[in-house]
Amino acid sequence: MEAHDLSVLHKSLFEDKLSATDLFVQKLRSDPSIKSALQRFYWILKRGVSLIDDDASNSERKLGFQLWTDSQIKSVVSLGIAIVSSSRSLSVEQAEPTVVAVVHQLVEFAVCYLEKAEFSGNDFSIQVCDFSSSYAACLN
């Protein structure tokens, strides 16, 4: 059921051709699987920024996303950008509480990612720029 809900959310964000914000709000209010998928996505983000319980010392403890593959991280960011883009013209009062919670959790995820991610290569500023510009593009 959860995978199906996430598929419905993905389809409504990426494949439907109506006004993104209007369609997103309409579907969120009429399709319970969209709300369910947003709640599931919220918990994915929450797990991504939660400390992993293990025997490591505090300095070596990792956040959940640090065990994810690059593909998983890119998928989360891509879906997050689509959600923010589809809801950015909504005021907090117009947005469903679930959407507000997801956007809040996305910001926390982005900050944690930039703080904790281990970048390869000598000049990681390009990689940080790629991530942050993709994320910031939806906020402009």
Structure confidence at residue 106 (pLDDT): 94
Between 20 and 14, whose confidence is greater?
A: 14
**Per-residue confidence (pLDDT) for residue 126, from 0 to 100:** 45
Model pLDDT for residues 97-127, shown as the tens digit of each residue = 888 899 999 999 999 998 876 666 554 554 5
pLDDT reported for residue 140:
44
Higher pLDDT, 50 or 22: 50
State the pLDDT confidence band at 58, using cuts at 50, 70 and 90.
low
Which single residue is written with the structure tokens 């709300």? 35
Residue that wins the pLDDT comparison between 18 and 23? 23
Q: What is the pTM of this model?
A: 0.70
> Is the pLDDT score of 48 beyond 60?
yes
Query: Using one digit for the tens of pLDDT, what is the confidence trace for 23-42?
Result: 677 777 777 888 888 899 99
Instruction: Write 14-23 long-range contacts (CB < 8 A, 24+).
Output: 14/82, 20/85, 20/86, 21/86, 21/87, 21/88, 21/89, 21/90, 23/86
What are the sequence ranges of the domains in the chain?
A: 2-137
